[in-house]
Amino acid sequence: MSFANEVYTIPISGGDEISIYHSELSTIAATSLLETLQGENCSCIPYFTFAVAYRRLNDLPSSLLFLHAAEKLTLGTSPALAAARQQILCALASASLSGGNLAKTLATTTDTAVQSALVEEVFTKIDSYYHESDKIDQFFETTWVAKGATFLQRHALTVNTDEVQAKSYLDRAEYLFELGFKEAKEEQPVKLPFYLGMAAVKFMKEDYAAAQVRTS
C-alpha cells in the first residue's frame, strides 16, 4: 500500500494548519517536527499520527520519539485521555518488538546469559506498559490482542531451548485470543485480530485444519 499522497496536518494558532505529505516526511527532521507540535501545544493526536507515519517509513527511533511525547500528554483523568493513553501504551509495547528491534538488541552480544537478560529486560518493559493499560481498563481489547501477540513472540524465542516454557507461552496466547474474541464488545472488525491470533496459535500447535477454519 502506498502512502505517498497521504497528507498529515498540524493545527496552528489562528485556526490555520500546516500540511505535510507522507512523501515529504523523510526529508524533515523528526526533532524539528516534534518541536513544532510542542510549540503549538497540540493534543496527543498529531503526535500519535506522526508516530504511525514514521513507523511506515521504518524509522522506529523517530516513531518512538513521538510515542513517548504523546504518552506524557495523556497523563490525566478524563475518559478521552485515558482511552488515548491505552492506545499509546499498546503502541509502545508493540514497538519494542517490531522492526527487528529485539533481534538487533540480541545481536549486540553472543553471550547467551547476557542475551537472556536482555530479553527479560525488554519483556519486563513491555509488561509495564500492559500493566499501566490494565489499570485504566483491564477489558480494553487492544491490550488483550497485544498481550497475545507478545506471548507468541516469547514462544518463538523459547521453542528451540525450552519446550515446556514455550508451550506455556503458547497456551497463554491462546487463552487471551479466545477470551478476547468472546468478550469483545463489537462485531467485526474488532474481533478480527483475535480470530487471526487464534489461527496463528492453532498453526503453531500444528492443528492446521483448525487454523484454516479460523482464516477462512
Cα–Cα distances in angstroms (integers) from residue 64 to residues 33, 86, 144, 148, 213, in the given order: 14, 15, 21, 22, 37
- Interatomic CA distance for residues 184 and 128, integer angstroms: 23
Question: Would you tell me how many other CB atoms lie within 10 Å of the CB of residue 26?
Answer: 10
pLDDT tops 80 at residue 10: yes
pLDDT tier at 112, thresholds 50, 70, 90: confident
Question: Would you tell me how many other CB atoms lie within 10 Å of the CB of residue 166?
Answer: 18
Q: What pLDDT score was predicted for residue 100?
A: 60
Q: What pLDDT score was predicted for residue 113?
A: 84
Local structure of residue 190 (DSSP, 8 states) = T
Q: What percent of the chain has pLDDT over 70?
A: 93
pLDDT tops 70 at residue 108: yes
Return mean pLDDT, the chain: 87
- Interatomic CA distance for residues 129 and 90, integer angstroms: 7
Q: What is the pTM of this model?
A: 0.82
Q: What pLDDT score was predicted for residue 46?
A: 93
Is residue 148 within 8 Å of residue 177, measured between CB atoms?
A: yes
- Interatomic CA distance for residues 216 and 193, integer angstroms: 14
Q: What pLDDT score was predicted for residue 74?
A: 93
pLDDT tops 60 at residue 1: no
How confident is the model over 117-166, as pLDDT tens digits?
Answer: 888 888 999 999 999 999 999 888 889 999 999 999 899 888 888 899 99
Q: What pLDDT score was predicted for residue 209?
A: 83
Task: Quote the cell numbers at residue 73.
Answer: 500528554
How confident is the model over 181-203, as pLDDT tens digits?
Answer: 887 766 656 688 888 899 999 99
Local structure of residue 206 (DSSP, 8 states) = T
pLDDT tops 90 at residue 180: no
- Check residues 66 and 138 and name the one with the higher pLDDT: 66
Write down the domain spans for the chain: 1-73, 79-216
Local structure of residue 17 (DSSP, 8 states) = E
Please state the length of the chain: 216
Nearest to 90 by CA among 57, 56, 136, 46: 136
How confident is the model over 24-39, as pLDDT tens digits?
Answer: 999 999 999 999 999 9
Rounded to 5°, angle at Cα 196 from 4 and 6: 10
